[in-house]
Amino acid sequence: MLPPDLLGPFLREAYPSVLERWPELVVFTENTPDPERDVIDTLTAYSFQHVDMADSVALRDDWLATWNRFQPNLPPESFSGRTVLEVGSGEGRHACLVGEHASLMVGLDLSRGVELAFQRDLNPNSYYVQGDLRRPPFKAHSFDALYSNGVLHHTPDPALSFRSVTGLVNSGGGVYVWVYGLAEMSWSYRMSHLAFLRPLTNRLPQSGQVGVATGLTVALELGLWGPTRILRRAGLEQIAEKIPYADAADKDWQYKIRRMFDRINPPVTHYISKDELSEWFHNFDNTEIINAYGQGWSARGQVRASS
C-alpha cells in the first residue's frame, strides 16, 4: 500500500524482476509528487536492516526488555481486547508481543520488514501493511490505541508525522510514543548515538556502513564486552554491570553488528526535546512525558473527544 512515488523505488530496490515483468504496476500522474531522497534512503536502509540483517531467531526476551525500556509501566497485556496500530513496526518484534493480547494488531512500516514480521508473527489477529506513515492507508478513528517506538525521530518532520497518524485513533484512545532525546539523558546514551560519525557514514554505500559497524563492534568487543565477560566469570558481577553497554556483552556477534549498524545508517535523525513533546500532546488528555531510563522520552496521552 505504498503511494505511487515510493512504489517504483521500492520495486526497483527489492523486486526488480517484478517491475520488469509488470511495469504497469507503477503508474505516475502529473500530480504524483517527487519522492524525497531521505525517504527513499530510509526505505532502502531499513529494508536491508530488517530483512537482510535480521536476527535469525525470534529474541522474545530481548524484545520484551526493549519494550519495557521504551514503554515503562505499560506491559503488552495493557492492550488486551483493543484494536492497535504500531507505527514503524519493523520486523514485528513488539507487534508480536502486543498482538498476543490485542483483538486486532496492525503493523505499519515503510520497509520490507513487514515481510519478515508476517512470517514470524503467528498471532491470528495480526496484520502487517507496507506504507508511508505520513500518508497512512487507513480511515480516521480506526484504532483504539497507537504506539510508536523509536521511529518518528527518523522522519523528515517528526511533528508532522505525529499529527499524520494520531488522527487514526478513536476519541479516548491511547497514543504512546518513544523518541530520541538528548536533554537529561545519560552520557553513555549520548555517546552511543555516534552523531559525530554521521556526516561520514551517511555518504558511504551500504557495504561501507556495514564495514564501519563491524569495525566499531570489534573495538567494543575488545574494550568493553570482553572485559565484562571476564569480570562476570570471576564472580565480579557488580563491577561488570558498571561497564557501559554491559547488557550487550553476551549477545550474538551478528546481533551486535546489527545494533551498531542501526546507530550509523539512519539517513535522518532528530532529537526531540521535552518541550517539543509537550507541544505534540497539547490537545490530548492525561498526558505524561517520562525520561525512560536515561535513553529517550516516553510520551503518552489520550485523544480528546471532539467538542
pLDDT tens-place string over residues 136-190: 999 999 999 999 999 999 999 999 999 999 999 999 999 999 999 877 777 777 7
Which residue is listed with cell 539523558? 185
**Model confidence over 17-28: pLDDT tens digits?**
777 777 776 665
pLDDT value, residue 74: 96
Strand ranges of the sheet holding 104-109, from the earlier edge strand across to the other edge: 126-130, 104-109, 83-87, 143-149, 169-179, 297-303, 284-291
- Please give the average per-residue pLDDT across 32-49, as a whole number: 77
pLDDT value, residue 77: 97
Predicted confidence (pLDDT) at residue 52 exceeds the cutoff of 70? yes
Which residue is listed with cell 542501526? 262
> Whole-prediction pTM value?
0.87
Task: Work out the percent of the chain whose per-residue pLDDT is above 70.
Answer: 95
- Please give the average per-residue pLDDT across 51-57, as a whole number: 80
Question: How many CA atoms lie less than 13 Å away from 25 in the CB half-sphere?
Answer: 18
Predicted confidence (pLDDT) at residue 93 exceeds the cutoff of 90? yes
Predicted confidence (pLDDT) at residue 274 exceeds the cutoff of 80? yes
Predicted confidence (pLDDT) at residue 123 exceeds the cutoff of 90? yes
Residues linked to residue 179 through DSSP beta bridges, in sequence order: 297
Query: What's the mean pLDDT when you consider all of the chain?
Result: 89
Q: Distance between CA atoms of 91 and 38, rounded to whole angstroms?
A: 21
* Distances 86 to 157, 292, 305 between C-alpha atoms, Å: 18, 19, 22
- Please give the average per-residue pLDDT across 217-243, as a whole number: 93
Residue pair 108/188 in contact (Cβ under 8 Å)? The answer is: no
Report the amino acid identity of residue 158.
P
CATH number for the domain running over 60-183+270-303: 3.40.50.150
Give the model's confidence band at 64: pLDDT under 50 very low, under 70 low, under 90 confident, else very high. Answer: very high
Give the lowest-confidence range in 55-64, 227-236, 237-246.
55-64
* Distances 35 to 7, 10, 110, 207 between C-alpha atoms, Å: 10, 11, 13, 24
Q: Distance between CA atoms of 66 and 60, rounded to whole angstroms?
A: 10
